[in-house]
Amino acid sequence: MTNHIIAFIFHCKVEKKLSSKTIKAYETDLRQFKDFINFKDTKSIGKEELKSYFLYLSKFSKKTIKRKIATLKIFFSYLEFEEIIVNNPFRKVRIKIKDDLILPKILSIGEITEILKILYISKNDISNTKSYAYKEIIRNIAVIELLFASGIRVSELCSLRISNIDNNFSLIKIQGKGNKERTIPITNSATQNALKATHSNFKKSIRKQSYLFINRLGNPLSEQSVRLLVKRLAKEAKIDRNITPHVFRHSFATLLLEEDADIRYIQHLLGHSSIMVTQIYTHVNERKKTELLTSKNPRNLIFI
């Protein structure tokens, strides 16, 4: 089995040209399967062995189980195609795993306002506009403004090149997952001004690196730096939850939906390949409706 796994990974790297992240996940999942089954002959694996392995996987989250089973399905399809096995054991196994519905965490308008207020007050408190502290706060304002105003992923924010922003800072071009390209209008003047100020203060480094967001060393800002910034700001704003850059993305989508934006427009803005992914936000919206009717239902005014 070890040789077949090596050949499969080579096939994924060279012929399918899959990402390093996907390759790593395949290697982990197949190594785990091999250690559990402990069979040297791949042809000996049947539906009973698969069922035993599925039972072993039950201790993991449903999302992880689905990924590991998907890896095995792809692996055995490869073995069948290469005529290494005659009978694919997955053809005799039916398994359906339904994900738990986990509603995304969001920030309220009040919480986002508090975070932005902290940043803008810090900016006004710095008298030396030539200092790095001032430049840093200018950049941090732009980071938070853009996360909230566009709903982009932290990876997309950190890889945003100046060449992908129009001259007025009113339109950005994003290279999303799977190299899919999308454009997002920046319509809020505060967000536009924050991006312009960042460009103005880091112009030399931006010209050298070509990325909009630059760190103290003159290199592109890392995703981890953005996560730490968001975490620190949430703490200063006394938000007693784990807040990540992705929470801004969830908040952007949810608040748009609550303003009756078409879900297909939201799908495009977020760069989701499937509308099914975007529909998680409709569940958040339903929760809001329930909360509204619980507290504001006019029937509550009649005591009969």
**HSE value, Cβ hemisphere, 13 Å, CA-based, for 273:** 5
Output the six-digit token pair for 56: 């072993």
List, by residue number, the catalytic residues: 153, 177, 246, 249, 272, 281
Segments in 103-260 forming alpha helices (H): 109-125, 132-150, 154-158, 189-201, 203-209, 223-236, 245-258
Which amino acid, one-letter code, is at 68? K
Provide the angle, in degrees to the nearest 10, between the axes of the packed helices 245-258 and 223-236.
70
What are the chain's domains?
2-92 (1.10.150.130), 109-291 (1.10.443.10)
Instruction: List the pLDDT tens digit at each of the 304 positions of the chain.
Output: 889 999 999 999 999 999 888 999 999 999 999 999 887 678 888 888 898 999 899 888 888 999 999 999 999 999 999 999 988 989 888 877 766 666 678 899 999 999 999 999 999 999 999 999 999 999 999 999 999 999 999 999 999 999 999 999 999 999 888 778 899 999 999 999 999 999 999 999 999 999 999 999 999 999 999 999 999 999 999 999 999 999 999 999 988 888 888 888 889 899 887 877 777 777 666 666 666 557 766 656 656 6
Is the distance from CB of 269 to CB of 150 less than 8 angstroms? yes
Is the distance from CB of 84 to CB of 4 less than 8 angstroms? yes
Helix, strand, coil in percent for the chain, rounding step 5: 65, 5, 30
Is the distance from CB of 124 to CB of 176 less than 8 angstroms? no
In 3D space, the residue among 167, 6, 4, 124 whose CA is nearest the CA of residue 76 turns out to be 4
Residues 76 and 82: their CA atoms lie apart, in Å, by 10
